[in-house]
Amino acid sequence: MIGWEFPPFKIGGLGTHCYELTRALAKKGVKIDFFMPKTKYKIDAPWMRIVAVSPEVVLKMKGAVYKRKKSRNIFDAIEEYNENAALVLEEMNKKENYSLIHCHDWITARAGMRAKYLTSLPLVVTTHSTEFDRSANLNPSSWIWGIEKAVFDQSKRIIAVSNFVKKTIMEKYSIDGKKIAVIPNAVSKNNFKYKATKEQFGWDNKKIVLFVGRLEIQKGPDFFLRAAKKVIEKRKDILFVISGEGSMLPQLINLSIDLGIQNNVRFLGVLPQEKLSQLYSVADVYVLPSVREPFGITVLEAMIAGTPVITSKTAGAPEIATHCLRVDFWDTNEMANKILAVVEYGALRKEMSKNAYQNVENITWDKVAEKTIGIYNEVRK
């Protein structure tokens, strides 16, 4: 399997996905060599062999950067990583006799395609998001589109994390739907068992509205703040808590000041797993206002932590996790209306929390692995 980020070296859902998927696959007897860039972090994944390929990459606020030659941009690092991963994979295959190659998203696609060419092994690609999602459909890069199109064409099967993604692949890349299997993400209950009280966060007597995600245009954090402004006009005892990092942070801080709500907004940065779980547990409502959200794994995280969820209508996760409220990401009036409702109507909170938990409890990585193995068996034939 060719990966890119992997916990604790991670910025988004791709890292979590690879971690949980490989663990569940290994439990079912799949032997995995996991290719990823060199990193200074210690990777703890005893269920498989990690193949660290140069260059070394470090995690920074604005995403991953190239370590050795800081003047060069991230795209050079990705290119070098892909080229090296393919060559190492070809070499290792001589001894290991791999059954197939599984890569993820455009960022590892060229390694997948090159290795497929060198080894003649079948290729599977999992699509977590497309360029149309990451760019919020504003200015998609035709260069990345080209890579995505190529890997879709060359893969024997494509795994999409939602019907939303499948539809994008069919419509924007002219791929036959029969080639695409939808296997939605899951959530690991154990990661979200840590609870806390509002007092522990110093938020006594406050209602907590939570945002978790990269602070990028795709995730719509600015809509979150604009809705916050409208909620705060109705009642003052509400804190809007933002956990995540990204290029929009300075802009968001300024926006909260311009809106005059800075006293009701908290920026917490990226939190370790235990702290994140506690944060979900104290939140009265979780809001995901993404402009385009191919899946939105945080929806499942909030639900398994028992927190009611409001998501934008353009999100993939509610395809399987239906017990949530939905709004148009641009409709900050409606977002505010629903935030107020969840905060004030206890019966709504209790009912959403209970039903969503029961729903999401059954969405496990074990089942994702099972379906993935089904795809593996198909392409090996």
Partner 1 sequence: MTDIVLSFHVHQPFRLNSFSRLEEHPKKLFERYFNEELNKKYFEAAAKKCYLPSNSILLDALEKYENFKVNFSITGTFIEQAKKYSPETLESFRRLVETGKVEIFGETYYHSLASLFKKKNEFKRQVEKHKEAIYRELGTKPKIFRNTELIYSNTIGKEIEREGFEGAMIEGSEKILGWRSPNYIYKAKDANLKLIARNYKLSDDVGFRFSNRGWKEWPLTADKYAAWLSATPGDIIVLYVDYETFGEHNWKESGILEFLKYLPKEVLKYKNLSFANATEVTKKEVKDELDVPFNLSWADLERDESAWIGNKMQKSCFNELENIAEKAEGEELENIAGLLQSSDHLYYLCTKGQGDGDVHSYFNPYKQNNAYENYVNYMNILQDFKHIIKTKGGKA
**Does 159 contact partner 1 by CB under 8 A?**
no
CB of 113 to partner 1, least distance (A): 42
Stretch that binds partner 1, among 106-114, 165-173, 196-204, 351-359 (CB under 8 A): 351-359
CB of 96 to partner 1, least distance (A): 46
- Amino acid identity of 336? A
The set of residues, in sequence order, having a beta carbon less than 8 Å from that of 183 and lying 6+ positions away, is 126, 159, 160, 161, 368, 371, 372, 375
Instruction: Rank residues 276 and 300 by Cβ distance to partner 1 and give the closer one.
Output: 300
**Does 181 contact partner 1 by CB under 8 A?**
no
Q: Are residues 339 and 207 in contact, defined by beta-carbon separation less than 8 angstroms?
A: no
Q: What is the DSSP string of 199-254?
A: GGGT-TT-EEEEEES--SGGG-HHHHHHHHHHHHHH-S-EEEEEE---TTHHHHHH
Instruction: Rank residues 87 and 341 by Cβ distance to partner 1 and give the closer one.
Output: 341
CB of 313 to partner 1, least distance (A): 9
Q: Are residues 126 and 100 in contact, defined by beta-carbon separation less than 8 angstroms?
A: no
CB of 192 to partner 1, least distance (A): 21
Instruction: Rank residues 134 and 338 by Cβ distance to partner 1 and give the closer one.
Output: 338
Helix (H, G, I), strand (E, B) or coil at 285: strand
**Does 234 contact partner 1 by CB under 8 A?**
yes
- Exactly one of 23, 102, 114, 323 binds partner 1 (CB under 8 A); that residue is 323
Q: Which pairing describes strands 49-60 and 63-66: parallel, antiparallel, or unpaired?
A: antiparallel
Stretch that binds partner 1, among 46-54, 174-182, 255-263, 317-325 (CB under 8 A): 317-325
Instruction: Rank residues 199 and 351 by Cβ distance to partner 1 and give the closer one.
Output: 351
- Amino acid identity of 142? S
**Does 45 contact partner 1 by CB under 8 A?**
no
CB of 289 to partner 1, least distance (A): 15
Q: Which pairing describes strands 123-127 and 309-312: parallel, antiparallel, or unpaired?
A: unpaired
When computed from its CA atoms, the radius of gyration of the chain, rounded to whole angstroms, is 21
CB of 345 to partner 1, least distance (A): 6
Instruction: Rank residues 23 and 230 by Cβ distance to partner 1 and give the closer one.
Output: 230
CB of 21 to partner 1, least distance (A): 28
If you ran DSSP here, which 8-state letter would residue 159 be given? E
**Does 237 contact partner 1 by CB under 8 A?**
no
CB of 251 to partner 1, least distance (A): 24
In the stretch 192-231, what mask flags binding to partner 1 with x, by CB under 8 A?
--------------------------------------x-
Torsion of CA 358, 363, 367, 368, to 10 degrees: 180
Distance CA(320)–CA(307), nearest Å, equals: 17
Instruction: Rank residues 183 and 310 by Cβ distance to partner 1 and give the closer one.
Output: 310
Stretch that binds partner 1, among 90-98, 127-135, 164-172, 338-346 (CB under 8 A): 338-346
Six token digits for residue 295 = 């899946």
Residues binding partner 1: number (CB under 8 A): 22
Count of beta carbons in the 10 Å neighbourhood of residue 237? 10
Query: Cα 225 to the chain's mean position, in Å?
Result: 21
Instruction: Rank residues 174 and 333 by Cβ distance to partner 1 and give the closer one.
Output: 333
**Does 59 contact partner 1 by CB under 8 A?**
no
Q: Strand runs (DSSP E) across the chain, as ranges?
A: 33-38, 49-60, 63-66, 101-104, 123-127, 157-160, 180-182, 207-212, 238-243, 265-267, 285-288, 309-312, 325-327
**Does 341 contact partner 1 by CB under 8 A?**
yes
**Does 337 contact partner 1 by CB under 8 A?**
yes
Six token digits for residue 331 = 């409709």
CB of 338 to partner 1, least distance (A): 6
Residues in contact with partner 1 by the rule CB under 8 A: 230, 234, 322-326, 333-334, 336-338, 340-341, 345-348, 350-352, 355
